[in-house]
Amino acid sequence: MEIRRIAGALGAELLGVDLRNLTDSLVADIRKAFLEHLVVFFRDQDLTPAQYMAFAQRMGTPVEYPFVKGIEGFPHIIEVKKLEHEKQNFGGIWHSDTAYLEIPPMGSMLLARHLPPYGGDTLWANQYLAYETLSDGMKKLLDGLVAVNSSAKADVTRTREDRIAEQGGDKREYVAEHPVVRTHPETGRKALYVNVAHTVRFVGMTEEESAPILAYLYAHQIRPEFTCRFSWRVGSIAFWDNRCTQHNPVNDYHGHRRLMHRITLEGDRPR
């Protein structure tokens, strides 16, 4: 396996890998690269849903997404799609997946099935760097704070409305409190853990009191030097660490269809 970094902050393509033929040593190498580079990419993986699920099961424990039903026969694989007539894309805002759950996911995977003729790239941002580059005074303030995260925040719910309407899916509001700075359970590094899509306020503060600090953090945590950008091809897979990254699918392909298959992997309670 060859590792080729795609940016200074995070992200690497893993070359020479056929995910249909996984050995224990290859699984260990992928896992090591995943922890080091935060998001890893594979090209030209012509996987059936069963093969895709088999890969996911070697990386973690797949779990169901709370709002959208899985594809036929595979409840843990959901379609992430934008159709020709739609203007909003699914999850089209900077976020960490489902931070409004009591136990948010360890990681997520996307497999590109159908792509527009141009556009549709995805950005990721390194939240270790977002925390580590803060001033000592800001770190001291944030280290003791807990944030309230909600699935009902308007900017993100609108990106799910068509999918939920199609399937009669889950419309409940999920709310969870998590530390603003979480410690990664495997690397021990601290990461900033708020995001504009889900974080509402700090515990013990009103939304108005929280807003100025959150606005600063939202702008800071996606500085260009903290990010990487991936251009998809059919058969490309991205596998990222939700505990220390955020991502944002770029919505620049109106009038065209984009279809991805996503698997979410079980995580742990942030600490």
Active site annotation includes 257: no
Catalytic site includes residue 121: no
Tokens encoding 159: 């990106």
Distance CA 117, CA 121 (A): 11
Q: Which of 163, 243, 261, 262 is catalytic?
A: 262
Whether 97 is a known active-site residue: answer: yes
Angle among Cα 260, 66, 180 to the nearest 5 degrees reads 95
Residues 76, 95, 201, 258: which is the catalytic one? 95
- Asked if 184 is an active-site residue, the reply is no
Residues 76, 198, 243, 247: which is the catalytic one?
Answer: 247
Q: Of how many residues is the chain composed?
A: 271
Catalytic residue among 37, 76, 97, 182: 97
Q: Which residues form the catalytic set?
A: 95, 97, 247, 262
